[in-house]
Amino acid sequence: MSRADRFDAFRALAGRRGRIGEGLLDALADQRASTAGPPQAWAPGIAERLDLPHAAGLGPAGYFADLAAPHGRRHVRVCTATACFAARGGRHLAEVERELGVTADGVSADGAVSLQAVRCLGYCFTGPAALDGDQPCTGAGLAAQIAGRQERQDPGIPVADATADPVLLEGVLEDEPGWQAWPQTVATRTADEIQAEAEASRLRGRGGAGFLVAAKWAAARARPGVVVIANGDEGDPGSFADRMLMEQDPDRVLEGLALACLACGAREGVVLVRSEYPRALARMRAAVERAYTDGHLGERVHGSEVTLDIRVAAGAGSYVAGEETALIAGMEGGRGCSRARPPYPTDAGLWGAPTVVNNVETLAAVPWIVRHGGAAYARRGVPGQTGTKLVCLAERFARPGCYEVEFGTSLEWIVHELGGGLRDGARLAVLQVGGPLGGFLPADGLEVPLTERDLTMSGAALGHAGLVAFDDSVEPQDVLRHLWEFADAESCGACSPCRVGSRRGLRLAAAGGAPDPGYRRWMRVMEEASLCAFGRRIPPVVRSLVRACGDRLASWEA
């Protein structure tokens, strides 16, 4: 029996009862918002109410961070991800704990206030950051803001174009409205024509894997029941590009999703927005309502034969749940763990249907490609890596923000010309590129073109292209410990190489000494045998940090 034919009990049960698993996470989130008790006390009742077995409620409630963490009447989420850690060396969490009188992931005895450590909130450009309910507090004096002694800070995302002809930022910087290509395209052009433009553009996914978009569309297009998902679960600490697009230009994201649905022959699209982005979630939902009102969605769109429905779903807090198979598992109401492949989502994804998952930034480029042509897009960037990319510079830079650049641009130029180097005359020690699964480069090793190939050859990775700078005030051993803390906290636990390896790495890093004699062996097992890219990428990232820090982490060389 092939993996594609294997029986999935949860899918079968939830499918027979109207796919009520899709509403399970929302029901669990609603209950969690009003209770401080452990999932065992309330999750089985939610599952029973939906006519599902108790385990169906306990699984996701004990897995997803938003559901597992207790909630008081006032719930505060503090970012402990890489950019916020780099801003203060991680000291801000203890300061907030003292102000609230609650430890991270705990609740006060009277249930008045709870504190949750999260990764990340998308405020990397002005960290450290927190959400008090859904109200942001950022920057210096974070704890005082939460305590009400200082005015809350919620600056907008700085945005700039370095290409002279923006693709992704034309709506934000040039006030170009969305939905310009869609009405005429849906009425006069075919799915084959949209597919051809995507092929000519050589557009690759911007979510980290870099897969050719046209190839992914071709694998699922015109098959019965195909679904297209816009992945807005931007989990890479240091990147806030997707958050910016969903908040400031949601119509363009929706238009890109609609065009992808047209190319694939899909009648259904879904936008998945991470729960840590409440403003993006609200604006995407409002944009969908406008799109229906303006006739862009629904039956016989703009007089064509096309029927298209799009909805918005919320995540529940998990880094790995941004991986496409884990994302699909969560959308079905299960634990957001990666699934073995094959089958690939394009063969059997959401509820077994052929499913295309494209990242938000990827889809935001599609309207420009359809309007200007795939060939025009392919002339930008460099051979093998066409087009433009949003690069995010975190708080340590003199000019943090989100910049659109062409592929092939030097990291040295991005860091020193766009970013202005580090703020307050600080000296760059190491640079993290591409998030926790990317890699680290030394300060004197930035003459690297921004392409996946060149970054990989330098020991890093493109990822979402977030750049987090560490200055000399943060000890390399602390950075190493922070990396292993992230790995341990965010490993989904589905495979033992990643689960056990992350836990062992954290114990060694927290102890502060040299690794155990078997270190090289279990790191190799973790890299080669983990189920998904999360576990496989952690060892190379550790090695890149060790190389970038030189003698200061020499004992960890593997």
pLDDT along the chain (558 residues), means of 10: 52 57 86 90 93 91 92 96 94 96 95 94 96 95 96 97 96 92 96 98 88 96 94 88 97 98 97 96 98 97 96 89 88 87 92 95 98 98 95 98 98 97 95 92 96 93 94 93 93 90 93 84 94 90 92 77
Do 537 and 459 fall within a single domain? no
Domain C-terminal end among 17, 44, 63: 63
Domain assignment present for 27:
yes
Domain assignment present for 159:
no
At residue 432, the 3 state secondary structure works out as strand
Do 111 and 254 fall within a single domain? no
Q: Which residues contact 420 (CB under 8 A, 6 or more apart)?
A: 397, 398, 399
Domain assignment present for 384:
no
Do 325 and 351 fall within a single domain? yes
- pLDDT at res. 176: 87
- pLDDT at res. 70: 93
Do 451 and 356 fall within a single domain? no
- pLDDT at res. 2: 45
Do 356 and 333 fall within a single domain? yes
The CA distance from 367 to 255, in Å, is 7
- pLDDT at res. 29: 92
Domain assignment present for 171:
no
The CA distance from 433 to 446, in Å, is 10
Tell me if 127 sits within 8 A of 138, measured CB to CB: yes
Domain assignment present for 157:
no
Do 454 and 488 fall within a single domain? no
- pLDDT at res. 3: 47
422: its two tokens:
């580090």
**Residue 463 belongs to domain with CATH number:** 3.10.20.600
Do 421 and 310 fall within a single domain? no
* Residue 338: domain span: 176-379
Which string of b and e fits 508-541 if b means at least 16 CB within 10 Å? Answer: bbeeeeebeeebeebbebbbeebbbebbbbbbbb
Please, where are the H alpha helices in 210-341?
213-220, 241-248, 250-264, 278-293, 324-331
Tell me if 503 sits within 8 A of 488, measured CB to CB: yes
The CA distance from 356 to 220, in Å, is 7
207: its two tokens:
């979510």
Domain assignment present for 158:
no
Domain C-terminal end among 440, 467, 494: 467
Do 138 and 241 fall within a single domain? no
27: its two tokens:
């029901």
- pLDDT at res. 14: 54
Domain assignment present for 165:
no
Do 58 and 81 fall within a single domain? no
213: its two tokens:
């978009």
Do 536 and 445 fall within a single domain? no
Do 247 and 335 fall within a single domain? yes
Tally of domains within the chain: 5
- pLDDT at res. 437: 86
Domain C-terminal end among 63, 87, 107: 63
Do 412 and 512 fall within a single domain? no
Cα separation values, 207 from 155, 350, 402, 465, Å: 25, 19, 16, 9
- pLDDT at res. 10: 54
**Residue 96 belongs to domain with CATH number:** 3.40.30.10
**Residue 329 belongs to domain with CATH number:** 3.40.50.11540
Domain assignment present for 499:
yes
Rounded to two decimals, what is the model's pTM?
0.94
**Residue 523 belongs to domain with CATH number:** 1.20.1440.230
